[in-house]
Structure 1
Amino acid sequence: MKTRLDYHSKHPAAFKALLQFSQYVETTNLEHSLLELVKIRASQINACAFCVHMHTRDARKAGETEARLYLLSAWRESSLFSPRERAALLWTETITQLTGQPVSDEIYNEVLEHFLEEDLIDLTVSIGMINVWNRMNAAFQLAHPVEPMELAS
């Protein structure tokens, strides 16, 4: 795949705004490991290879296990994710796959059992942010680096 447009250099002000938005996400009280899972899962749904590559690499560097990364797309069928992580992944899928239907009270209440309201707002902002990156990268076909993936031991 060939990159259509290098939006980083073509419009630095827009890129800077995205980076500032991303920096806010990194200052929340949400666990880094949880944020990486959310970023990876949204990127999987959106088929953003660049972001899947980046965030699986980042998650590995932060100590995430290969097993959990392999099973992330099947988190519902895996016992490797905590109830809080499962709630965040449910929220990620729900917000990422909005189809013109409102988010159900059932899902909202289920997720709210695991997050303070302020943290749920930050989680929603975080999901929105990765979805923006996914859409930018998909629209302009930003290619992921081609390098050997290092496996955690």
Structure 2
Amino acid sequence: MPLFIDKLAISSPDFVNLERIPENFSADGGNDTPGIAISGAPEGTVEFALIVNDPDAPLANGFTHWVVYGIPADASTLDLSAEGVRVAPNGAGAAVYYGPQPPAGHGQHHYFFHLYALSTPVVGEPTREGFLASYADSIIEVARTVGTFSRD
């Protein structure tokens, strides 16, 4: 299997990679949606998908906090109001951003913001698992940034 790493990059103006996500972006602190910056789209990208997952959650596949499809190939930021952009069900079944809310005392959790450059558009609003199963062959490149959060 080839590696999908080159110039694609994702970052957030709201937190630093591998550092704590501010409280206002947590489920208990306001559930504000973090800003997302995108750069380095590879040739052949027709759209991006963004999936935020907490693999430290005590569930078989972790917990999916955010699923966004239809992000335009020329986007430099995530604009949820852009034509074609749609939010799919998170781990709780709701089509919204659900900020960090690890179990109290469970230690530090890692929130992986994966950005996928795709060669084909995503049809519908599949879950994270459905997307990974159905669109693996359409992934041109993957980038990620990681935030952390804990509740003591």
For the criterion TM > 0.5, the same-fold answer is: no
Structure number having the greater strand percentage: 2
Structure number having the greater helix percentage: 1
- TM-score norm. by structure 2 comes to 0.28
Higher relative contact order (CA 8 A, sep 6+): 1
Larger radius of gyration: 1
